[in-house]
Structure 1
Amino acid sequence: MPRSARHLTKELLLRSGQLIDERAGVVPGTFQVATPGGTDVTAGGEPIAVVREESLRRLGGTVAEDSRLLLDIYRPVEELGLGSGVWKAVDVRGGQTVAAYEYQVLPEDRGTFLEQGRALAGIRHPNVVGVRGLGFWNGDGWLVTDFVEGVTLAELTGEGGFRLPYWMLTSVANQVARCLSVLHGQGMAHGRLAPNCVLLCPDGTVKVTRFALRRDRTVSESKDLEDLGRLLTELLGGPAVPEQQDPGTTGPPRARRAFWERFTEAVDNLLAPDVDRQRRGRDLCMSASYDKQNAAASDPYRYQLLGPVRVTRHGRPLPGIPPEEQALLCMLLQRSGRTVTHRELAEGLWTGQMPERQALREIARRADTLRDFLGSGILATTSGGYALYATPRTVDMHQCEDLADRARFRREDGETATARDLVQYALELWQGDPLEGVPGPAAEAARIRLHALRFDLWATRAELDVEIGDFDRASADLSELVASHPTRVDLRRLHILVLCRQDRVGDAVRSYEEYVGHVEHTSDGEPNAAVQALYQELVNAQGRTSITLEISPPHELQRTLAALAGTLSRLLSLSGLAPDQYEALDMEHSHLIRAESDASPASVLSALDPVMRRLPRDLAELPDPPKVRVTFWRATGTGRPVLPSDIKAALVHVPGDVVVVLSPVLHEELAAGGAPVDASLFRPLHGAEPTTRPLAWYCSLASA
């Protein structure tokens, strides 16, 4: 693995393990493994995957019992912050990551701990962390919960000033108040609400953790609401008075005033000694104007990574962030709201080795500089590294990925037009080369991934255009894609098919020839078999050119053919077509003359001159002559005329006793001198959109 991607090694091992977990012991014969225990087989070399213990057992291995398992189920991995009492652990039954909270519980309080823990486990609410288990291990009480990625308020505000911007504060107030309302409705209380108990998830959800799980005077509904009021006051950087706020971080004046009117009343009520007033303060925090969606919509920051790195606040660009700080910003934004460890940062920011202490100092310096640009409450210093809190909708890269996912789901549901619109929106987010000018191996790896994402979006848009039937747009996209990726088989095959649907068979053949040339130049391999088969179909179909004679009204067909029998034979003989080069077929409403495969388009076009000179005159000699349309077109291998319905509809409005129609390819042949007829006599036939390339070409003649 290249140095620039080494920070992804852990992720690669986990993803490889996920594939094995899905198939281990279920799909036979897929791969061979060597598992520890039970056999004489040993495995050497580097690890290729991290799998669950359950998978190991299914593959025939054994897992030694570990007395260090917490509650006999969870294996502690690491403490999340020295002395925090919170551990990251793994459920050995299924491999899920969990969080384990340690409690110092006196013997006489064990019953209360278990009772409160079970009551908490019965609460299912988006703002209450989910409980998985509880019990006692090594003399202490333990509460095991879902592992939730994110940053705590303590981490988010620990450096750069203990303050949150108002748009974030409203969401925190709303969601913590909802959590407390549910707890108090169940007769419980949190008991120790503080900044390290409130976790902000990457999607904007707030999870409350670290419940006291005890009963005493300090654990009550009133104390919880007072703690919420104090917490909100601290997050404002002081009492709720507008003069203390930094106008640059609070938003437009009108929004600021509306915020203060509501927020001041809510905080005052929460800090009141009367529990009824406190409940009114809690209810104010729970109002719709304070919810997560409104807060996300009010987020003034926008981050552009799909082009030159750019950060705006309230629509105004921040002063130029230096490239070194841009590299840090980009790494953090790719994992928005999640911790990027010091080690990952060091490997992603520099290509060479750097002493650990020096790397930590340099990362801290860059983080301080970046925090000065962004303001307080955005960049968190966590126990293991740094995290940048940004809602997904504020980062163009995440928006693009979300739109791509939504387009895929819509396409699977058959909503092709909607999927095409979503892909177009995703492509419109791009402003140039992603992460332009940003240094470091992590930025380079991200550029490679984002270039692939953009290419896939282009290809998907072309595929959707084909499904919709917009071959002109598909052709334009695919021409650029095969030019940049000339040997990519799926795109080349689609390009050839689209050109055929546009009746540009010559261009389709040239596309295949270009593909073969690139394959021969770049590798020793043979052209793809599917593309070769498509080309052979082109060759077989290219020579099948037809001349169709249609009479209006249709019931006059047989009478007219009988009267023109000599005329048709004479016209074909004048064209130079030998009798063995064509066959005449009577169709239901037309007379079809199909050229054999060895007859070139030029030889068929040779019939054009006698048709245009002699047919109007011969028709004029008939009593009550009908109107005639003669179409020179391609034909499929079955010999049926290939005249799309939209072309027939457009021809209805074309006047003339005799109308001669040419397909676009045959008109190109005519313009190149393929027959002694002036190509300028033919006019373009357009469909509903006159700006597109002609559907066909026609010439109107009067009976002589």
Structure 2
Amino acid sequence: MDGVPRVPEVPRVPEQRRPDASVERAPALRFGLLGPVRAWRGEESLSTGSPQQRALLAALLLREGRTATAAELIDALWGEEPPSQALAALRTYASRLRKVLDPGVLVSESGGYAIRGLPEGALDLSVVQDLATEAEKARHTGDLCHARDLLGRALALWDGEALAGVPGPYAETQRVRLEEWRLQLLESRMDMDLEQGCHAEAVSELTALTAAHPLRERLRELLMLALYRSGRQAEALAVYADTRRLLADELGVDPRPGLSELQQRILRADPTLAEPSTPRAEPSSTPVRPAQLPATVPDFTGRSAFVSELGDVLASVEGRVMAVSALAGIGGVGKTTLAVHVAHQARGAFPDGQLYVDLQGAGARAAEPETVLGSFLRALGTADSSIPDSLEERAALYRSVLDGRRVLVLLDNARDAAQVRPLLPGTEGCATLITSRVRMVDLAGAHLIDLDVMSPDEALSLFTKIVGEERVGSEREAALDGVAACGFL
């Protein structure tokens, strides 16, 4: 803990080759694997097809430009029990992808397939690798501030679970690998936070991370140190006791030596633990552009009238008072899915960033506005020491920070209008999308939308996109019964 933190070794990713200068590639292809499997040509989103078709695209992108045989791809997509027409289906998926991608990108070779000739930075995974490599170099030169910033940018490229919704054993293996890599990068960034004296700010994030990954001892070690440096020695020791009990109950093992040693150093009040070895970094003068939207659903279906209506509202914010749109409906009707989909489509109109929070309005303990404002202010680049304590002061600072910026705020699962009022930007050029189970009739100036269940045709279309046309075509009545049993939710 006292030495300079190391950035973990990153996985290899596909080789990215520079395009021939004599060939114009405008706009260029881009691919995303750190979330849903997606493809773009410039800013245009491309259809990646059914789940199995996305699984094929992901498998080829992860092959580092090497050819994957048909047998390898069938095993990757279906495992030990492929369908009888697996080879024909594989060829169909490849043919459909070839029509979507640029000519010459998906090539057939030696009875298999490969993706070649992508421009540099075309894959989000390769961008993360480059940023992590730069962070390692910055660490070696002693510039922890820059290394920490690079890792923060790398982690921001994750858009939810990697390869989200992609079926097959190969995708599952890669999901596990990429999640482990993300956690290693996150641990390194948190380590740098503590080395630079940001222990108070780190406590809340580490508390949430240890709750999500209770058996990950490195995160618990970092939480113990952050608590100790924040003057919370008893809580730091309680984390150790809880970890020891959990490991004994779940795995029948003791904490690793590093964790036990830290506990003993805390008990001794070891003076070397008290202060970081590197001074706190000066606040960055570069405006922070948050990108907090959850991943959109690749199989989004229907709601075209609402998508168009909300899109028009968001597109008209420039030069006018902030736009507020509130979606109301019963649980499971698709409010969040619609709002996230619309927000992603409107990102270009909000170049200064997008903020997101689940307000947990339907739960027993809804999120407190002052807590949300604290996280929003940090996401917008405000130092923790500059964030006031009271709700009124935080709301005022929040509006000041957003002045002159064009930011989209998505407030999901709101309890009522009183909860969201302090979270509204209040300045022109910004917009807010709200989802709630209650109709926000007392929210002044809000554009209200009531969302009902999907129509039978929309529900069946969504079901078809998820399970595939072949399955629904052969069992249409069963598919109709299935979506009806779900209440068309």
Q: Report which structure shows greater RCO (CA 8 Å, sep ≥6).
A: 2
Q: Between Structure 1 and Structure 2, whose CA radius of gyration is higher?
A: 1
Q: Which has the higher strand share?
A: 1
Scaled by the length of structure 1, the TM-score of the pair is 0.35
